[in-house]
Amino acid sequence: MYASTTVVARFGVVGRLKCGFLGAMISSHDFDAVIWDMDGLIFDTERLSFFAWQEGAKAIGLEIDLTLFQSLIGMNSQAIQARLLAVLGDTTDVVALSKAAGVSYDGLIAAGPPLKHGAKSCLETIAASRIPQALATSSSYRYASKKLEHHNLLKLFDATVTGDQVTHGKPHPEPYLLAAEKLGVSPTRCVALEDSVNGIRSAKSAGMQTVLIPDMCPHDDESLSRVDHQFTSLEHALPFLKQRCGIA
């Protein structure tokens, strides 16, 4: 039996989410689900991505500096291409640039993406509890599944949302709203783990509690105002998650 909940996000998005009967009951803990970003949070891949974009830009005679790259973190491929056109000019061959960067990136992660410290143990601890968890990444399903399978992590997620499965990517709330919908949990009962400005904005606009684990993306005061909790690593965040999710 399900109860229906209407969610109105800051971006004006209205989502109809199915919330299980048990999920609608008063809970003894604060969060009923954990929603994960991936790159820069689970995997230490943002530096590799920056290098790949630099190599891709060089291949067509352009340059991507750190500031531009940081503005791309958390976006899906469609949003990235639009951002590159806006900054580099509408005559830029963003398809060729993206392809060249992709070839470089594939080579960099061929041996498997490096894990962030504490990521695997954090995922495994939550998976072993009764708390469901979902992925909300801007990477394509091809990339996300390949990376997660390499470390045998894909099976730990109850649902996945990737950048090629949404109409509007981060910072729009759709990825997080869809992740909550797939889990059958109200967004207000979810905690989102993120590293980027675009990801934090997406999760907060979806009505979730936000946890920031900073990586390469700097956060100004406006972004930090959307952060509910901040930790230096997932290892340090785990005791908080266990307590707030009611995990013994």
| Confidence at residue 182, expressed as pLDDT on a 0 to 100 scale | 98
Based on the domain organization, do 77 and 190 belong to the same domain? no
pLDDT by residue (tens digit) across 58-84? 999 999 999 999 999 999 999 999 999
Report whether pLDDT(25) > 90.
Answer: no
**Which of 56, 73, 108 delimits the end of a domain?**
108
Rounded-to-integer distance, Cα 33 and Cα 132, Å? 5
Looking up residue 178, the CATH number of its domain turns out to be 3.40.50.1000
H helices of 174-213, in order, are 174-183, 197-205
Based on the domain organization, do 137 and 212 belong to the same domain? yes
pLDDT by residue (tens digit) across 188-201? 999 999 999 999 99
The percent of residues in the chain predicted with pLDDT above 70, rounded, is 89
| Confidence at residue 195, expressed as pLDDT on a 0 to 100 scale | 98
Rounded-to-integer distance, Cα 36 and Cα 192, Å? 6
- Name 81's Cβ contacts closer than 8 Å, sequence gap at least 6: 94, 95, 98
Report whether pLDDT(30) > 60.
Answer: yes
* pTM of the model as a whole: 0.86
Based on the domain organization, do 195 and 95 belong to the same domain? no
Based on the domain organization, do 145 and 61 belong to the same domain? no
Q: At 17, is the pLDDT very low, low, confident or very high (cuts 50, 70, 90)?
A: very low
Report whether pLDDT(27) > 60.
Answer: no
Domain count, the chain: 2
pLDDT by residue (tens digit) across 127-166? 999 899 999 999 999 999 999 999 999 999 999 999 999 9
Residues involved in catalysis? 37
| Confidence at residue 181, expressed as pLDDT on a 0 to 100 scale | 98
| Omega of the bond leading into 113 within 30 degrees of 0 (cis) | no
Range of the domain at 141: 2-44+116-244
